Amino acid sequence: MTVHIGAAPGDIAETVLLPGDPYRAKWAAETFLQDAKCVNEVRGMLGFTGTYKGNPVTIHGSGMGMPSLSIYANELIRDYGAKTLIRIGSCGGMQKQVKVRDVIIAMTASSLSTPSSGIFKEFNFAPCADYGLLSAAVAAAKAKGTATHVGGIYSSDVFYDERPDLNEQMTRHGILGVEMEAAELYNLAARYGRRALAVLTVSDHLQTGEALPSEDREKSFGDMVEIALDAAFQD
């Protein structure tokens, strides 16, 4: 047990998928894992452990935003020994060629600040994905025929953004999409020598204003979960 996770030692697998939404953790575990059992309910942040093709996996909510993800990722890594951490979540598209329902696999995650900014101070650390996981996810997405983009994303501290000028510069510099968690996950993986990746479904688009209809969400999110699971156990 840790401050925020009630799981017993050994109840968390070395491979952890991290959706922001705890109910999506429940849905993904019930849909894609065998013998999934609930291992955490503290503060309603649900976590489940089961197996995928015989491999132990935990799917645990991270909450929204980097401060929340940082709490869970720190405890999963430092107290439960998580070795492979894959964020699965939604993002806003920031390029014309990126369409709603497409998948983005994040090579890097830019940010204005993260919970790790206090360590880096004036240094501009570049948080990046684990290359083995990234290339395995690209192969898994290709095998599924999912429209996929690979490149940089932006981890924002705010959903209701008051800086359209900043979004413009991000788009101009090729950033594919915006979400609120990946940069801190990549920072923590670098700090503790773990593997991390973010696989994201484009749920809305900043330029076109298009949003994924709720009835399409399940299928699109399902593709993303399978890509993450296949990538985790490819090698």
Which residues are known to be catalytic? 204
Among candidate residues 84, 68, 89, 88, the one with its CA nearest the CA of residue 5: 68
CB-nearer residue toward ligand HPA: 12 or 202: 202
Query: In the bound complex, what is the minimum distance in angstroms from residue 4's beta carbon to ligand HPA?
Result: 22
Q: Does 180 bind ligand HPA (CB under 6 A)?
A: yes
Q: Does 88 bind ligand HPA (CB under 6 A)?
A: no
Query: In the bound complex, what is the minimum distance in angstroms from residue 154's beta carbon to ligand HPA?
Result: 8
Q: Which stretch binds ligand HPA (CB under 6 A): 67-75, 145-153, 174-182, 221-229?
A: 174-182
Distance CA 18, CA 40 (A): 13
Among 68, 95, 114, 203, binds ligand HPA (CB under 6 A): 203
Distance CA 148, CA 101 (A): 9
Q: Give the list of residues 6+ apart from residue 204 with CB closer than 8 angstroms, or none.
A: 90, 92, 93, 100, 210, 211, 212
The whole-angstrom distance between residue 22's C-alpha and the CA centroid of its chain comes to 13
DSSP class of 128: B
Q: Does 232 bind ligand HPA (CB under 6 A)?
A: no
Distance CA 33, CA 186 (A): 25
Query: In the bound complex, what is the minimum distance in angstroms from residue 81's beta carbon to ligand HPA?
Result: 29
Q: Which of residues 113-172 bind ligand HPA (CB under 6 A)?
A: 156, 159
* Residues that contact ligand HPA, how many (by CB under 6 A): 10
Among 62, 68, 74, 90, binds ligand HPA (CB under 6 A): 90
Q: Does 199 bind ligand HPA (CB under 6 A)?
A: no
The whole-angstrom distance between residue 136's C-alpha and the CA centroid of its chain comes to 15
CB-nearer residue toward ligand HPA: 5 or 66: 66
CB-nearer residue toward ligand HPA: 5 or 100: 100
Q: Give the list of residues 6+ apart from residue 42 with CB closer than 8 angstroms, or none.
A: 4, 5, 6
Query: In the bound complex, what is the minimum distance in angstroms from residue 204's beta carbon to ligand HPA?
Result: 5
Q: What is residue 69's three-state secondary structure?
A: helix
Q: Give the list of residues 6+ apart from residue 144 with CB closer than 8 angstroms, or none.
A: 223, 226, 227
Query: In the bound complex, what is the minimum distance in angstroms from residue 179's beta carbon to ligand HPA?
Result: 5
Q: Does 11 bind ligand HPA (CB under 6 A)?
A: no
Q: What is residue 170's three-state secondary structure?
A: helix
CB-nearer residue toward ligand HPA: 79 or 204: 204
Binding residues for ligand HPA, rule: CB under 6 A, are: 90-92, 156, 159, 178-180, 203-204
